[in-house]
Amino acid sequence: MKLLRPAFLTLACLFAQPSLSNELPSLGDASSGIVSPEQEHLLGRAWLSLLRGQVKQLSDPQLKDYVESSVYRLAETSQLQDRRLEFVLLDSPQLNAFAAPGGIIGVNGGLFIHAQTEAEYASVMAHELAHLSQRHFARGLEAQQRMQLPMMAAMLAGVVAAAAGAGDAGIAAIVSTQAAAIQAQRRFSRQNEQEADRIGIVNLERAGYDPRAMPSMFGRLMRQYRYDQKPPEFLLTHPVSESRIADTTNRAEQYAQGGTQDSLRYQLMRARTQLKFESTPGVGAKRFRAMLDENPEMDAARYGLALAQMKAGQLADAANSLAPLLAKAPDDLTYNLAQVELDITANRLQHAQTRLQRLLQLYPGNYPVRQMHIDLLMERGETQQAERELDKLAEQRHRDPDIWYQVAEVRGLSGNIVGLHQARAEYFALVGDYDQAIEQLDLAKRRASNFQIGARIDARQKQLIEEKRMVEDMLR
């Protein structure tokens, strides 16, 4: 597959088979015999590496941290047994989210724009987790027992291309792979969507959210896009009908009133995302000012305004916008990180350092704080200390290509050329370019200063060669 685009059909629906039970299939059932959880895990990560290499992503640490923590919160009360989750946040303003085999969770930035409350956002993510917990991908293979794993991967590529906007080319790939199965897959997909809705509502309530958020969001989206010739991707891959809304409404109403509807943190992340997709900072500032004119107590709008002003270079105005927020919540992580960013931009590096030291004590181990600390160390020219901190962060987030990209950059600046090539190898492997990854380790071996380092590099190179072979076998 030469092209992958940002949004795509929920992969768990691809070969789905209907099930009326909320229970997971047993380890000895037919689906586990056809494709094991470990095969799903490997296939999902192979596919994710290809996606990462060809699709633009949002690298914002705060947004990534929010998605990860919010989904893990939902996973704690879900039926998901294998919680080796991996996340990708796509740089697309279109409304979409997806779950791929093996615990891959993807979110378009546009989900934050369209989901007006945290409960609405959580309803979408609970739905996607239900696809994973019920192993729709594997269970659906009972209806396709003659289809082997490479053919599954080829079908997967076709569905991705079609749902992402490749149009006729993607559809042709599906048809050429398994034309006779298309109608059955559509039927199974509808039934899987119903099951994911049902289980998602259960999980929403267990996680402390108002389950009524799911039918509320479905209904608003259907009304909003009823007459659009091209509705958002979410409605193309998750068709919403009156009967589906009625079914989710009836199920949600079985629960007592209550549950979380929204949170300030979600609205702050929503403001960050909205600003990313504005044409200019000035347009964003104008919109946030209008929101504040309507409601002067809307802290998320004031925060968005401060970010827009900072982005436009209006640093004094940004400081004035942040001041009342910090006065109201002096320990708030999001506000303090905005102030640190402002201080760095204004070259007040000592002020930024003092505030960051306090944040590191208040939020030890927090990814966005640690990343901001590394950024500050780079601004101060403390490259070796930045490299040490990045090495620690890479241990914690060893499958994050954004981290390895920065590790390579910092090692190059510090003169650690062997480490530079090793970090580049990890980055290229995570974005699916195994040839480049293997070549980088060749370069590292040539510069290795002793046998032990060379042996470790050689062992890692053999692992990547095997991973490359496995991916090629899957996608052949």
Residues 6+ away with beta carbon under 8 Å from 24: 79, 81, 133, 134, 135
CB 86 within 8 A of CB 48: yes
Active-site residue (options: 128, 387, 400, 409): 128
Strand partners, 57: 90
Consult the annotation and say whether 351 binds a ligand: no
Give the angle 274-278-282 at the CA atoms, nearest 5°.
Answer: 115
Quote the CA–CA distance of 157 and 1 in Å, as a whole number. Answer: 6
Pairing of strands 97-100, 104-108: antiparallel
Catalytic residue list contains 197:
yes
> What are 438's two structure tokens?
């293997």
Number of other residues whose CB lies within 10 A of the CB of residue 184? 16
Residues 6+ away with beta carbon under 8 Å from 179: none
Residues 6+ away with beta carbon under 8 Å from 379: 344, 349
Active-site residue (options: 118, 120, 197, 210): 197
Consult the annotation and say whether 193 binds a ligand: yes
Residue entry with tokens 């620690």: 392
Consult the annotation and say whether 136 binds a ligand: no
Catalytic residue list contains 467:
no
Nearest to 236 by CA among 279, 277, 186: 186
Strand partners, 106: 88, 98
Catalytic residues: 128, 197
Residues making up the annotated binding site are 127, 131, 193
Binding site listing for Zn(2+) = 127, 131, 193
